[in-house]
Amino acid sequence: VVVPLVNPALLGAFGISLNTDVFEDGSLTITGTYPSLSTSNCETQVTIPAITDNATWASGGDPVLDEAALTATYGFGFVTSGIFANNMYPPNLAGGETYGVDFGPGTDHETWGQWISQYNADWSFIESAQFSWEQVDGVESTTGVDEQGEFNGHLGLAAAFGDSSTVPFLAAAFPEVGLNVGNYPIIGGTGQDLDGDGTPDGVIPAPSLTEDGLEWGYLVDFAGADGGLFGSGADGVPGTDDDVIDEATAFTGYYFTYNFLIGFGTLANSFGQFSDPEYLIDTDGDGIPDTHQMVVNFIQQGQSQVEALGNTAEAIATAAMTQLAITFGLPATTAAVLGAAVGLYAETTLVALLTAGTDAVTALTQTAQATGAYALGALAGAGVELDDSDHDYVQGGNGRLVFQVGNNCIPRNQYVAVQSNWVNTGTAE
């Protein structure tokens, strides 16, 4: 993330102001206001508190002089600081130490600093200075770690990014799809250029210093795993012979709706039995339930592990689909037929994945998702009207679900590169 506060006006706009007194005895005092991140309940807020930092510094060897530019450059860094990174390595630039070899990322000194003094014409007065550093979370810098030296940095996000232009754009570009335009932005959208000015419209950026981000929006899937819009195949055109409908949301207008939640979710979530202790048996005597009881029963009957897993998946999916079809108003006889069909699909899919060498956890996850989508297709084929994407959800009914982006804690191992520029407010003696 680049924060280009490159002049006093931009710094002032955010209320940032610093004054530093640097002393030859290795001490310095920094006062003013400086950005700080504060995270509570997995929500990170940026504040600009007043600071007073009585720090210490060290330099590395003689400076590298540029007679033409009137500059002196040398390694420089905080040794101790209550605000900034500690133990910054001051490289000996005049002695030949090299970035990427002796200091910088991937070396023994990833947190380091450099100072460039800009002198007046006769080298009698420092007019300005540039202090830059790279900081990596760790024990050396004392940032992003706890008292035991373990990483503890995290970023809390309470919003996302999205846009309000993608859906109108696609609805106009593909009228044959009948895409409904909702009342909220879509979460994760990057926008479309509606007015032809070369810039995507209706974009809500991710939360930042200046942006709140998107808190409420829809979840959609127009392209599926293959990236082809609305089931389109290699030609990229929906409605042609090479179409492969791989969007699970295709039956609900490409939105995550209430019907999608109930239909896809019921079948996909039924596979949670494979990790639910309520359904598991402890087969190795360690006191921890580890295997579905039906799998154990099938193996005891002489089946292989793959066969047992496949038959268990078939039984679970059959029961879930049968009940789901009844929930959607289908008669029991039709529900039984659909249950058997979806159960067979689940078994066939899982056995194929396991036989191909896919590990059991991945195979079960992929089978659950594929079975959920297949179940929606089976319901639609039986005449159930699943598309409830023409309205937002209403209590006791169905419709597009409007999601609130919840607070998320993201583990953070932070790398920071800072370039600060200073003007000497003193006077030459």
What is the predicted pLDDT for the residue at 150? 66
From the list 258, 156, 161, the residue with the least C-alpha distance to 216 is 161
Place of tokens 């419709």: 399
Q: Residue 337: which residues within 8 A CB-CB, separation 6 or more?
A: none
Question: For the residues of 33-53, what is the DSSP string, one character each?
Answer: E--EEEEETTEEEEE--EEEE
Contacts of 373 (CB under 8 A, 6+ apart): 246, 248, 264
| Pick from 221, 226, 212: nearest CA to 189 | 221
CA dihedral 394, 397, 402, 405 (to 10 degrees): 110
3-state secondary structure of 160: strand
The helix or strand, by DSSP H or E, that contains position 423, with its residue range, turns out to be: strand 415-423
C-beta atoms surrounding 370 within 10 Å: 19
Cα–Cα distances in Å, from 296 out to 279, 283, 292, 335, 424? 11, 8, 7, 28, 78
Cβ pair 85, 56 in contact under 8 A: no
- For residue 92, the one-letter residue type is N
Whether 135 shows a pLDDT value over 90: the answer reads: no
Residue 166 has pLDDT above 70, yes or no: yes
Determine the 3-state secondary structure of 265 from DSSP: helix
Write the pLDDT tens digit of every residue in 195-238.
Answer: 999 999 999 998 776 778 899 999 999 987 777 788 776 666 66
Which residues, listed in sequence order, are joined to residue 58 by a DSSP beta bridge?
A: 77
Encoded amino acid at 172, one letter: A
pLDDT interval class at 399 (50, 70, 90) = very high
pLDDT (tens digit per residue) in 88-104: 899 999 999 999 999 99
Q: Cα-Cα-Cα-Cα dihedral of 166, 168, 170, 172, to 10°? A: -150
**Position 122 pLDDT exceeds 90:** yes
- The residue-averaged pLDDT of 155-183 equals 89
Two tokens at 195? 């007015």
Residue 148 pLDDT: 65
Q: Which of 278, 259, 249, 252 is nearest to 369 (CA)?
A: 249
DSSP state string for 93-108? TTTT--BTTTBSTTSS
Residue closest to 255 by CA, chosen among 218, 214, 203, 215: 218
Higher-confidence residue of 256 and 427: namely 256
pTM here is 0.63
Average confidence (pLDDT) over 46-71: 92
Low-confidence winner among 80-94, 110-124, 344-358 (lowest mean pLDDT): 80-94
Q: For residue range 305-359, list pLDDT tens digits in order.
A: 999 999 999 999 999 999 999 999 999 999 999 999 999 999 999 999 999 999 9
Instruction: Evaluate whether 152 touches 188 at the Cβ level (below 8 Å).
Output: no
In the chain, what's the furthest Cα-to-Cα distance?
Answer: 99
> Is the CA virtual torsion 45, 50, 55, 57 positive or negative?
positive
Closest by CA to 22, choosing from 65, 53, 63, is: 53
Cβ partners under 8 Å of residue 100, min gap 6: 106, 107
